[in-house]
Amino acid sequence: MKLKLISIGTKMPRWVQEGVDEYSKRIVGDLGFSLLELPMAKRTKAQSPEVCREKEGEAILASVQDADYVVSLEVLGKPLDTPALAARLEHFKSQGRNICLLVGGPDGLSKACAARADESWSLSAMTLPHPLVRVIMVEQLYRANSLSKGHPYHRA
């Protein structure tokens, strides 16, 4: 199984990169984690957010293989607690499928990305900035994997 976090934005603040690096170093082995950063569409006054979102969606979908299992991360997705995320990861491992987690840019994910998704998860009922979503998602992947392995990191 390979798990790829596909996210819009290539020039993240240092704290984002440090957070992602810290937890991705800890996710070694059976998750096969990687981060793919795609450039944001150029925003101008003449270009609507919808056009930018669609361009970014095209780039995201070009990075997804037909056989990949796709999960969109959206505010209206299914909320998961850590044990449920751990169970989903164990299920994915047992299936041996490659998983793509999609994070949109500042305007969210395109309709095409939502349509391609096999399921949709929500990290919060609140809208989160897309750089923060990276850090939260990678930490939660580490936490869920730790829970599955009986590692003491998860103490809830």
pLDDT in tens, 6-38: 999 999 999 999 999 999 999 877 789 999 999
| Pairing outcome for strands 99-103 and 33-38 | unpaired
Are 100 and 62 in contact by the 8 Å Cβ rule? The answer is no
Kindly list the domain boundaries of the chain, sorted by start residue: 3-149
pTM: 0.93
Evaluate if residue 53 carries a pLDDT over 80: yes
Summarize pLDDT for 82-134 with one digit per residue, the tens.
999 999 999 999 999 899 999 999 999 999 999 999 999 999 999 999 999 99
Round to whole Å and give the CA distance between 88 and 84.
6
Please choose, from the candidates 1, 11, 4, the residue with its C-alpha nearest in 3D space to the C-alpha of residue 106. 11
Question: The domain 3-149: what is its CATH number?
Answer: 3.40.1280.10
Position 31 scores a pLDDT of: 86
Are 105 and 41 in contact by the 8 Å Cβ rule? The answer is yes
Classify each residue of 41-51 as buried b or exposed e, where b means 16 or more C-beta atoms within 10 Å of its C-beta: beeeeeeeeee
